């Protein structure tokens, strides 16, 4: 899923067509005393990272993506040459695993894996827990300023109201936006039908004029500074907006909301695989993850042991503790295979029109 954040400059990728050889050979690991990570920005506590370096001597080097599609592109174009950990969303996992783009993770080196909830183990795309470690979950929903939003929002269709022109702070990326158009049109949010995707593109042509800014890292800033009255955002962004403002509300949507999971994977040919596994185990420690969550990272978290340690300010936060009916009325991003070419084509067209 950003997620799933957290996240979201647009780089459009093609379908994963690179051969396994293009991903870098297996080879022997060249442990350099560092771990190179490609993920969302503003998605991990620097204090927690510094603690890891202090305890292990391993330096963590970060590079940041702006869309989930960029993460998949890095992995399929030889990501192991540059990175030891990359954060794709769960929607890309089937293609990445079947394409042979990932190293197997040695869970013997990650005993804190047991802290994850059972729902995040033995999943359909990774039934033996060989390839992916879930980090944060992301609900994507609508929030609004009760004082300045000019319309009532109960469905995605309401986001097309002309009164909202230039008023929406929005996450970006084709797999975040096409699903709400498809849902609004009565289609499967993971449709692979060319005609349905084209109709969703036409729906989004009416959405774009209402957007004040696309940003999957910090869309909430547009709400906080008053440039937008509505946000279509990740739950972690919503928490920051709620913390800065006292006049926000989560829209009571009749439509299903998206739930995604951001995964850590080790790309094929990673040079510091052992260090990557040490870092993953460190992050999965309940106390470390709880500290990570409390440091401006109020996202939904699959680490149940960490959540148990969290204060009520997290457990009862209005952006995390959304109505149960919303949590139960959700859809997941699924791998759409070759249809991603169609999504990318229309996304490129949409963004060129937006300029």
Question: Which residues are part of a known binding site for spermidine?
Answer: 333
Which helix (H) or strand (E) covers residue 191, if one does? Answer: none
Cα three-residue angle 6-11-14, rounded to 5 degrees = 110
C-alpha 302/C-alpha 312 separation (Å) is 17
Residue linked to tokens 């993770």: 105
Which helix (H) or strand (E) covers residue 211, if one does? Answer: strand 211-214
Give the contacts of 323 (CB within 8 A, at least 6 positions apart): 250, 252
Q: What are phi and psi of 143, to 5 degrees?
A: -125, 160
Contact (Cβ atoms closer than 8 angstroms) between residue 159 and residue 210 = yes
Q: What are phi and psi of 200, to 5 degrees?
A: -65, -40
C-alpha 270/C-alpha 272 separation (Å) is 6
> CB burial class (10 A; 0-12, 13-18, 19+) of residue 90?
buried
The distance from CA 45 to its chain's CA centroid, rounded to whole angstroms, is 17
How many other C-beta atoms can be found within 10 angstroms of the C-beta atom of residue 292?
A: 26
Q: What are phi and psi of 312, to 5 degrees?
A: -60, -25
C-alpha 217/C-alpha 117 separation (Å) is 26
Binding residues: 333
Give the contacts of 118 (CB within 8 A, at least 6 positions apart): none
DSSP label at 233?
E
């Amino acid at each position: 899923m950003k997620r799933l954040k957290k996240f979201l400059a647009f780089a459009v990728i093609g379908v994963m067509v690179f051969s396994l050889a293009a991903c870098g050979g297996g080879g022997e690991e060249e442990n350099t005393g560092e771990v190179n990570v490609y993920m969302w920005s503003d998605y991990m506590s620097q204090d927690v990272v510094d603690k890891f370096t202090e305890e292990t001597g391993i330096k963590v080097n970060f590079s940041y993506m702006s869309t989930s599609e960029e993460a998949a592109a890095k992995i399929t174009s030889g990501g192991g040459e540059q990175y030891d950990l990359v954060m794709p969303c769960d929607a890309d996992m089937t293609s990445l695993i079947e394409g042979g783009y990932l190293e197997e993770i040695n869970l013997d080196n990650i005993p804190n894996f047991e802290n994850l909830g059972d729902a995040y183990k033995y999943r359909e795309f990774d039934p033996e827990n060989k390839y992916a470690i879930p980090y944060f979950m992301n609900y994507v929903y609508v929030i609004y300023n009760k004082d300045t939003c000019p319309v009532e929002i109960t469905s995605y269709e309401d986001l097309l109201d002309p009164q909202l022109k230039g008023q929406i702070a929005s996450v970006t990326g084709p797999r975040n936006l096409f699903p709400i158009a498809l849902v609004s049109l009565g289609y499967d949010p993971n449709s692979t039908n060319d005609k349905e995707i084209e109709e969703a593109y036409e729906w989004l042509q009416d959405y774009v004029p209402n957007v004040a800014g696309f940003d999957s890292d910090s869309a909430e800033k547009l709400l906080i500074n008053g440039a937008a009255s509505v946000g279509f955002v990740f739950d972690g962004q919503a928490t920051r907006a709620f913390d800065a403002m006292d006049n926000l509300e989560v829209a009571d949507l009749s439509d299903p909301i998206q739930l995604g999971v951001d995964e850590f994977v080790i790309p094929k040919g990673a040079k510091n695989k052992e260090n990557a596994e040490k870092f993953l185990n460190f992050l999965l420690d309940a106390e470390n993850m709880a500290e990570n969550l409390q440091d401006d990272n109020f996202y939904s978290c699959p680490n149940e042991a960490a959540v148990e340690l969290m204060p009520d300010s997290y457990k009862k936060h209005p952006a995390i503790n959304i109505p149960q009916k919303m949590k139960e009325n959700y859809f997941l991003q699924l791998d759409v295979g070759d249809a991603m070419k169609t999504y990318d084509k229309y996304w490129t067209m949409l963004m060129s029109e937006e300029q």
